[in-house]
Structure 1
Amino acid sequence: MPYLRGIPLEALAFLIPFAAWLLYDVFSRLSPYLARPDSRQGVRIFLAQTRLPVQLILATLLLSWGAPGLAGSRLPSLIVVAASGMLLHRATGTLFIFLRRQFDLSNPDNLRARRATTQIIVLERIALISVAVLTIAVLLMTIPGIQRFGTSLLASAGVAGLVIGLAAQQSIANVLAGIQIAITQPLRIDDAVVIDGEWGWVEEITLTYVVIRIWDRRRLVVPISYLLQKPFQNWTRTTSSVIGAVTIHADYSVDVEALRKEQSMILAKHPLWDGEVDVVQMMEASDRTVVIRSLMSAANSPKAWDLRCDLRERLIRWLGETQSGALPRQRMRIQGEVTRRKGPS
């Protein structure tokens, strides 16, 4: 470039990258306004995530073109490869962000959203790890020493892979189990599950472990392989609707039909009831009491829990107010003659 010959190399090393950075910065900030209104936010996020690596690539290429003395070194190629890997990594991550935004987990009927989000998260981690490994491999292959010994390294890769595989057998099993979880989906993001007696929601799924958010805000970290080897309860596998049960012990004199009508009246006005299940049954009879089970349904497990607690409280209060004799009590029969002691005359 004749018009650059009079400029010192040190100045070119600063001016050309700065010009490339400035031009692309202006272009990336103006581009969203040229896009359609419904896609401006997505274009803005994508350009913001990829702005730095693109600027590095442009600046390096222009610097190599304007300063031929640098073209013979390995530094520009290393920068371009590293920036390209960063660009691919960020572009892939942004793509998966857009995919996750297509599904709303806050919707009460979010089965499809939870299923898709689980697959997207696992695939995102696999894709990002693959991009990172590929970038590191290409960076190493740009060094002449590694190219020279590439054949020997490939030949020894099988032995090294075998040793690493034996050493990391459990980790590899967890990764494969994570892929299997993403495909078969025995549990998904935001599923309500019971694992080892702990009830909570699936908060995070990685390639090696699952994080369960317990109802009291603790976090239960479960290895992926554990979920494929031992049974667990998934309360939202096919639907988030849950049937709750309330057990009441009462006296034999209880009026079950009246109790059944009272429960129906309570549920009809209750905001947590979904209008599907309303059952009262005398489940057992012991030598002292009868066991009455009330069944009711709610849209999800937290609502079912609150509905159970509230219904239990109201039914017991109603029994105490209207059928006090129906509450559990002990009966005693006294045999023999009862005499009344005479008082002082």
Structure 2
Amino acid sequence: METLLRPLAVAGGALVATLALGWVVDRALRRVDARHPETPLWHLLRRCRIPFQVLLCALLLLGAFPAARVGHGHRDGIERALAVVLVASLTWLAVRVATAISESGFTRYASVSHDPARVRRVRTQVTLIQRVVFVVVAVVAAAVALMQFPAMRTAGTSVLASAGVIAAVAGIAAQSVLGNLFAGLQIAFGDMVRLGDTVVVEGQWGTIEEITLTYLVIRTWDERRVTMPVSYFTSRPFEDWTRGGAQLTGVVLFHLDHATPVEEMRSELHRVLKENATWDGRGWSLAVTDTTPTTIEVRALATAKDSGDVWTLRCTIREVMLDWLRREHPYALPRINTAPAPGHHPLDDTPTRHTRHDGCASRHDGGPRHDGVRDHDGVRDHAGGDRGPHDGEVRGPSHPRPAPSR
């Protein structure tokens, strides 16, 4: 009975001590956080409570393990399990503390910086550095945990002996993965793209939402997510609309008639821009940039502070100016002329053919008659006349004619 109660008492005591000490530390961090609301460090450190308690419990169990007097058949297995838990909890706590410190430092930097582009660059670098550190710490922790088992120690020794061959094979097999990894580091420290940048890639317009060591996530204007490898941005050209400043110039093209009053259109455009809040006032223009035999091309330019405003401004210019042209100058809108030339009648050149049948003139080709009435197979004319009682005679609805004598 003692062999069962003693281990339970040791485990229960370690658990109670862990919960009590964790509660005390959490209360202390909460008070410090209330006294210093200007920094998020203490609030972020409170997220380390669970890994701290797991680490503390593992330490207490390892320290009190001899007092439990566990049998020799289970002692080695329990010690190795506690050692693995200790390594895992220590790694977890180190990652949480590093995240809290880096996030606190970035928040303080972002609050005092007045350059959004520099803030995005620092955000990108901090994120990628965190990911690199996490990967390295996880690999080291996994190696330390596996080395607690004798079989893994033997395997590790053999792996180290053939490290050169394994490295060569792994390098060939993981060439694309390693290429993306180094491309991610190049993006982080080369400041090629940053979180929040507005880019155009493969015809997709969107914002950089996430950057990892191997891929980027672009959020498009219609809330889709496009995932692309980071090596794409180091090997192919792309458009970055926010690098060096977010200001943009919007272009609106109109195809209008040659009679368009360009000067009045220019004045109307200026009035529209002055009443629009998305125009930043840096510049505008309206000019005829091209001409064709039927239309002219009028280009309107206007500036805005970012890509979102320039899109809205372009749509507003297009809608308001077309409505103004439709109301004030409808002749300026492009037309397709379908009327015949003056003095020319389309029926003048239509060939006609007349034949005689039983002594009366009739039409066999559906063409126009001399009296302006068209027959269709001798049944009914266009005015609703019916076939007469004599030899294909056609009678109109208002001017009947007698049948010719035989």
Query: Structure 1-normalised TM-score?
Result: 0.86
Q: 1:285 to 1:204 in 2, by over 3 A?
A: same
Matches of 2:301 and 2:184, distance apart in 1: 37
- Cα separation, partners in 2 of 1:44 and 1:326, compared to 1, 3 Å: closer
Q: How much has 1:27 moved relative to structure 2? A: 2.3
Give the aligned partner of residue 91 of structure 2. 85
Indicate yes or no: 2:330 matched with 1:324: yes
Where does the alignment leave 5 or more consecutive residues of structure 1 unmatched?
Answer: 1-6
Alpha-carbon distance between aligned partners in 2 of 1:50 and 1:132, rounded to the nearest angstrom: 17
Q: Describe the SS at the equivalent of 1:190.
A: coil
Aligned match of 1:4: none
1:108, CA displacement in angstroms? 11
- Checking the alignment, whether the CA contact within 8 Å between 2:199 and 2:206 is kept in structure 1 is yes
Q: Which amino acid aligns with 2:36?
A: P
1:274 pairs with one of 265, 277, 280: 280
CA distance in 2, matches of 1:75, 1:288: 85
Which deviates further from its counterpart, 172-181 or 54-63?
Answer: 54-63
Amino acid at match of 2:227: V
Residue aligning to 1:306: 312
Q: Contact between 1:32 and 1:41, CA under 8 Å: does it hold in 2?
A: no
Letter in 2 for 1:45: L
Q: Check if 1:8 corresponds to 2:6.
A: yes
* Pairing of 1:49-198 with structure 2 (within 5 A): 49-68=47-66, 69=69, 73-102=79-108, 110-147=116-153, 150-198=156-204
Residue 209 of structure 2 is matched in structure 1 by 203
CA apart distance, 1:128: 1.2
Alignment: residue pair count = 334
Per the alignment, residue 258 of structure 1 pairs with 264
User: Which structure is higher in helix share?
Assistant: 1
Deviations 1:150-195 (A, max 9, x none): 5433222222122111111111111111111112232221211111
The answer to whether the Cα contact below 8 Å between 2:289 and 2:298 also exists between their aligned partners in 1 is yes
Contact 1:92 1:127 in 2 (8 A): no
Q: Which amino acid aligns with 1:211?
A: V
CA spacing shift, 1:278–1:167, aligned 2, 3 Å: same
Using the size of structure 2 for normalisation, the TM-score is 0.74
Distance of 1:243 and 1:176 partners within structure 2: 35
CA positional deviation for 1:304: 0.7
Question: 3-state DSSP class of the match of 2:244?
Answer: coil
Helix, strand or coil at the partner of 2:37: helix
- Pair 248,54 (structure 1): closer, same or farther in 2 beyond 3 Å: same
- Pairing 1:219–2:222 present: no
Shift of 1:229: 2.0
Contact 2:40 2:104 in 1 (8 A): no
Q: For 1:163, give the aligned amino acid.
A: V
Indicate whether 1:46 and 2:45 are aligned: yes
Does the residue aligned with 1:249 lie in a helix, a strand or coil? strand
Larger radius of gyration: 2
Looking at both structures, which has the greater relative contact order when contacts are Cα pairs under 8 Å and sequence separation is at least 6? 1
Query: What is the CA-CA distance between 1:135 and the residue it aligns to?
Result: 0.8
- Computed over aligned residues only, the root mean square deviation of the Cα atoms, in angstroms, reads 3.0
For 1:104 and 1:249, the matched residues in 2 are separated by 47
SS of the aligned residue for 1:8 comes to helix
Change (3 A) 1:298 1:40: closer
The match for 2:29 is: 31
Deviation at 1:216, TM superposition (A): 1.6
Measured in 1, the distance between the counterparts of 2:276 and 2:207 equals 25
**2: CA distance between counterparts of 1:141 and 1:39?**
44
**Any conservation in 2 of the 1:85–1:135 contact (CA below 8 Å)?**
yes
Cα distance, 1:324–1:215 mapped onto 2, change above 3 Å: same
